[in-house]
Amino acid sequence: MPPLLAIPGDISPVAKPLSVAVGEKDSMLDMKSVEQIRDTLNKTGVPTEVKVYDDQVHGFALRSDWSSDKDKQAMNDAEKQGIEWFKRYLS
């Protein structure tokens, strides 16, 4: 499957604040790509954050295992990350 995200091509044009929550075990983005995204975003001069959640997979913030305390904590932390970001830049 071809990549759905071109790095740095799709990242360089970012011109608005951006927060990214990604799972360490994401099947769509390996950690090398995440670091490339982080480096590219840092060069934009736009407020950004990239937070990696340990042992989490692609889509963890929406569809993780609620019976796992670790997964539930990651979901809650990602939700807080998003809320704080929106408060900071949209209020």
44-53 tens-digit pLDDT: 999 999 999 9
- Domain segments of the chain as ranges: 18-90
| Ranges of residues in the chain whose predicted pLDDT is under 70 | 1-2
Residue reference for tokens 């305390």? 69
pLDDT at position 1 is 45
| SS3 of residue 27 by DSSP | coil
pLDDT at position 91 is 84
What is the CA 82 to chain-centroid distance, rounded? 10
Nearest 5°: phi and psi at 67?
-80, -10
Q: Is the full-model pTM beyond 0.85? A: yes
Query: Cβ of 23: how many Cβ atoms within 10 Å?
Result: 23
pLDDT at position 50 is 98
DSSP H stretches of helix in the chain:
31-44, 60-63, 69-90
Query: Cβ of 52: how many Cβ atoms within 10 Å?
Result: 17
pLDDT at position 64 is 84
